């Protein structure tokens, strides 16, 4: 179980008061218009034809005019003073003098930092911000017809309003943001090396990565020439598919055989998923784990929530299934009918699948039992036979007393009843086989010819909104190679671009953020002292892995890792079969082996980060330790606002609603006092309610589903900001960035927001709301900043404004 930064790691106007030079009250009261003149004379004075005016000397006339002008000016100033005092009394806010912005665009006349690094950083910041965002006029003082972006109204728009304009999404991208842009820059580094002659690569593992990459590029058109043949041959190995003429025989078919073939030969999830992983309650050992699985569409809601939008996606998915069936040799009408039956079966699976937002209590999810007890719970297959079949791959044995952790017992129990119903008829058994084989087909169709990729387009457009075509093949292939041979690719990436100094400096930053996080514990009134002390101990025990695992720099160790993997440069489909089997074998080898708590689960070139509760470990790959997230030459405000918050985010995952259930050793354990647990849950209810109110495209964010990530966003921001304050304590304000009239504290918040600058299609946003544990980018910014009082202080946001609401949610 990971806590990943991004799945893909998203207020009324700020009021500014200006002091006016008011006249002294005593001088106003002492002014006399014309001492000794009656009211009648005063009346006559305003009459242009008065004979008294004619009698005045030129000097007297001048003096009287000056007095009149002075009186009028004082009268106007008195009115202004009265109105201003009235407004100030209503708002109960002090008058805040805005920073003086000089013609050169800097604060208070300070000489800006004009190094190449500062100029480059300033350019990046400005190109992402909304046009006119810097130097925003006070609330209500904008020129007629203009609505300048305000940091107190919508800080995401303020910081990211120009990002989409200056960073148009590449072809084929439905989601485009800071993470993805840096990832594409990393791809340029990798492709430059992979396109060199194979004998220039430093290890056999790297050579295998090159061969896999070439097989994906298909420069010899092998994939196109083979067409459907590789999949048709696989169908025969699977025992046949009723939709095509591939040897299916209902009389000899059993669910046991097809399940073992699909899941134990080709490592594809079917009716359930299983793996060997760290035991949540004893994180030093590996154990078998089983969970719910089996849907083609991203979430159960697509099947069960019959909205127009959902039905469009379901229909597009069915069309995709039918096209693939026909391409593999099925007759159109028969294929459609049988695929409809598969979709109906998946709908029934969705009905018994537990929603993710109800699966956040780790103690309730954890159900340890023996294989024999599992058999009694869900006897739709012979579980001992199933796992004995799997373990033959690694030459290990298990028996009926082998422990297994079941994360979805209710699902498996209900699945047993559903399978029994289908198993009772020949038609039902045919549907079950069609379903199981479809699970294998949908995984491997991406390895087939263009006709199969084209079949997917309509479904992709309905699901994500992408109509701009496919991204260049070489980019897809670099990404694919990194996903299957990521540590071989990582060796190339680290060698080319990652500097050891970055690792050392990142370690220092992590420790600063950790110290700030711990220091805040004393301010948490809801936490009792005993729990506070063990929480500090857990924070101290979190290990941090930075840059890359050491083994990738040792050629022998790297080659040994991939020694059993066979790769050819002219067989893309077969390469993917080999990799699936290799991954299954490496996973099963862990059974009964001790846990290596320094192992990595993410390739070094990845632009992301994660936390693992059972290892109490944070990982920050080399791929993310680059600008704009981090640069040794950037001002500390930018580094802490971007990378520092990423570090704080992963650190806070150790204490979110799920991570806090694991102790310092990574074991699922009740280690908080009950009263503190209840007060913690009350705090999290505030966060759930806050994010439930956020809405995009007419859809509300699911506050329960995104709770852990929202807690991490809020806690990480706070910890990183206070780490920055501590770093800059007793230090002078650094020179401003050129052309940006913001303090460095303000720049910290801009840097945080700009991590999440992105452009996303409506469909992709809707999919994220349905499926993702992360809130959409704009509300990752707005939600966290609106809860942090220090943000509103720095930008002088009045209470009650959108970015400074009266009610704030605070957990950590």
Residue ranges per structural domain of the chain: 25-91, 229-448
pLDDT at 63 over 50: no
pLDDT at 183 over 60: yes
Q: Helix, strand or coil for residue 226?
A: helix
pLDDT (average), residues 67-74: 47
Give CA 267 to chain center in angstroms: 27
DSSP conformation class of 121: H
The pLDDT tens digits for 730-740 are 999 999 999 99
Q: Report the first-to-last Cα separation within the chain, whole angstroms.
A: 22
- The per-residue pLDDT for 143 is 46
> What's this model's pTM, rounded to 2 decimal places?
0.82
Name which of 118, 767, 786, 32 is nearest 460 in CA terms. 767
pLDDT (average), residues 116-129: 91
One of 713, 770, 772, 794 is an active-site residue; which one? 713
- The per-residue pLDDT for 169 is 82
Which residues contact residue 677 at a Cβ distance below 8 angstroms, ignoring those fewer than 6 apart? none
- The per-residue pLDDT for 349 is 97
For the chain, give the percent of residues with pLDDT over 70. 84
- The per-residue pLDDT for 101 is 39
pLDDT at 53 over 50: no
DSSP conformation class of 662: B
pLDDT at 212 over 50: yes
- The per-residue pLDDT for 469 is 66
Comparing 8-12, 461-465, 511-515, 537-541, the range with the smallest average pLDDT is: 8-12
Is 790 considered catalytic here? no
Full DSSP string of 464-513: H---S-PPPHHHHHHHHHHHHSHHHHHHHHHHHH--HHHHHHHHHHHHHH
pLDDT at 98 over 50: no
Residue 467's pLDDT band (cuts 50, 70, 90): low
Comparing 40-49, 50-59, 64-73, 559-568, the range with the smallest average pLDDT is: 40-49
pLDDT at 78 over 60: no
pLDDT (average), residues 330-351: 97
Average pLDDT, the chain: 85
Alpha carbon separation from 186 to 452, 468, 499, 653 (Å, rounded): 29, 23, 15, 27
One of 341, 650, 657, 663 is an active-site residue; which one? 650
Q: Which two tokens stand for residue 493?
A: 């990436």
pLDDT (average), residues 626-630: 92
> How do beta strands 3-4 and 368-370 pair?
unpaired
- The per-residue pLDDT for 306 is 87
- The per-residue pLDDT for 501 is 82
- The per-residue pLDDT for 139 is 41
Is 713 considered catalytic here? yes
The CATH class of 229-448 is mainly alpha
Task: Could you list the beta-strand ranges (E) of 513-645.
Answer: 543-547, 610-612, 617-621
């Amino acid at each position: 179980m990971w806590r990943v930064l991004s799945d893909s790691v998203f207020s009324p106007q700020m009021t500014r008061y200006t002091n006016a030079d008011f006249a002294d009250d005593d001088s106003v009261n002492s002014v006399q218009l014309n001492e000794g003149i009656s009211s009648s004379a005063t009346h006559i004075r305003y009459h242009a034809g008065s004979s008294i005016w004619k009698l005045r000397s030129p000097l007297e006339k001048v003096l009287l005019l000056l007095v009149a002008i002075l009186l009028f000016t004082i009268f106007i100033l008195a009115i202004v003073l009265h109105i201003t005092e009235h407004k100030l009394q209503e708002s109960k806010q002090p008058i805040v003098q805005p920073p003086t912005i000089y013609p050169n665009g800097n604060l208070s006349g300070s000489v800006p930092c004009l190094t190449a690094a500062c100029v480059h950083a300033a350019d990046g910041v400005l190109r992402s911000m909304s046009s006119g965002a810097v130097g925003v006029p006070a609330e209500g003082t904008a020129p007629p017809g203009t609505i300048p972006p305000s940091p107190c109204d919508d800080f995401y728009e303020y910081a990211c309003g120009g990002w989409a304009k200056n960073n148009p999404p590449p072809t084929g991208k439905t989601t485009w943001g800071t993470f993805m842009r840096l990832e594409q820059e990393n791809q340029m580094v990798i492709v430059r090396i992979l396109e060199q002659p194979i004998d220039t690569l430093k290890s056999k593992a790297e050579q295998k990565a090159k061969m896999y990459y070439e097989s994906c590029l298909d420069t010899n058109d092998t994939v196109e020439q083979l067409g459907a043949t590789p999949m048709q041959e696989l169908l025969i190995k699977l025992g046949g598919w009723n939709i095509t003429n591939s040897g299916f025989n209902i009389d000899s078919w059993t669910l046991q055989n097809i399940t073992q073939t699909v899941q134990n030969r080709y490592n594809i999830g079917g009716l359930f998923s299983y793996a060997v992983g760290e035991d949540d309650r004893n994180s030093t050992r590996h154990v078998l784990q089983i969970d719910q699985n089996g849907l083609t569409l991203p979430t159960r809601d697509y099947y069960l929530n019959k909205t127009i939008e959902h039905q469009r996606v379901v229909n597009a998915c069915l069309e995709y299934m039918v096209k693939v069936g026909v391409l593999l040799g099925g007759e159109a009408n028969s294929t459609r009918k049988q695929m409809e039956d598969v979709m109906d079966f998946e709908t029934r699976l969705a009905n018994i699948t537990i929603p993710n937002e109800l699966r956040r209590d780790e103690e309730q999810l954890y159900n340890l039992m023996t294989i024999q007890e599992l058999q009694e719970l869900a006897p739709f297959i012979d579980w001992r036979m199933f796992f004995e079949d799997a373990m033959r791959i690694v030459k290990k044995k298990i028996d009926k007393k082998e422990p297994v952790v079941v994360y979805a017992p209710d699902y498996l129990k209900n699945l047993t009843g559903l399978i029994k119903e289908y198993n009772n008829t020949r038609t039902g058994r045919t549907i079950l086989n069609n379903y199981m084989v479809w699970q294998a087909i949908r995984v491997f169709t991406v390895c087939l010819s263009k006709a199969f990729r084209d079949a997917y387009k309509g479904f992709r457009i309905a699901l994500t909104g992408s109509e701009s075509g496919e991204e260049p093949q070489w980019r897809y292939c670099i990404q694919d190679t990194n996903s299957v041979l990521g540590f071989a690719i990582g060796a190339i990436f680290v060698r080319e671009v990652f500097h050891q100094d970055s690792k050392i400096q990142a370690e220092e930053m992590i420790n600063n953020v950790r110290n700030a996080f711990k220091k805040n514990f004393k301010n948490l009134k809801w936490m009792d002292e005993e729990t506070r002390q063990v929480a500090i101990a857990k924070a101290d025990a979190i290990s941090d892995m930075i840059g890359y695992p050491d083994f990738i720099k040792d050629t022998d160790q790297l080659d040994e890792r991939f020694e059993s993997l066979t790769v050819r440069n002219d067989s893309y489909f077969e390469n993917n079969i080999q990799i699936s089997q290799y991954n299954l074998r490496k996973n099963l080898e862990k059974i009964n082996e001790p846990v290596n708590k320094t192992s990595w689960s993410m390739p070094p070139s990845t632009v992301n980060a994660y936390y693992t509760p059972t290892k109490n470990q944070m990982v920050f790959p080399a791929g993310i330790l680059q600008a704009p997230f981090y640069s040794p030459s950037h001002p500390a405000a930018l580094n802490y606002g971007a990378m520092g918050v990423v570090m704080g985010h992963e650190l806070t995952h150790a204490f979110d609603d799920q991570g806090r259930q694991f102790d310092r050793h990574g074991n699922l354990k009740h280690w908080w006092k009950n009263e503190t647990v209840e007060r913690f849950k009350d705090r999290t209810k505030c966060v759930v309610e806050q994010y439930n109110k956020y809405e995009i495209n007419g859809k509300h964010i699911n506050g329960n589903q995104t709770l852990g990530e929202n807690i991490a966003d809020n806690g990480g921001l706070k910890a990183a900001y206070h780490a920055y304050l501590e770093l800059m304590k007793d230090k002078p304000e650094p020179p401003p960035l050129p052309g940006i009239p913001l303090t460095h504290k303000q720049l910290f918040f801009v840097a945080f927001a700009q991590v999440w600058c992105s452009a996303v299609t409506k469909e992709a946003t809707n999919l994220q709301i349905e499926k993702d544990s992360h809130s959409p980018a704009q509300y990752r910014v707005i939600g966290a900043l609106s809860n942090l009082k220090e943000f509103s202080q720095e930008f002088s946001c009045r209470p009650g404004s959108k970015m400074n609401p009266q009610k704030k949610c605070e957990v950590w």
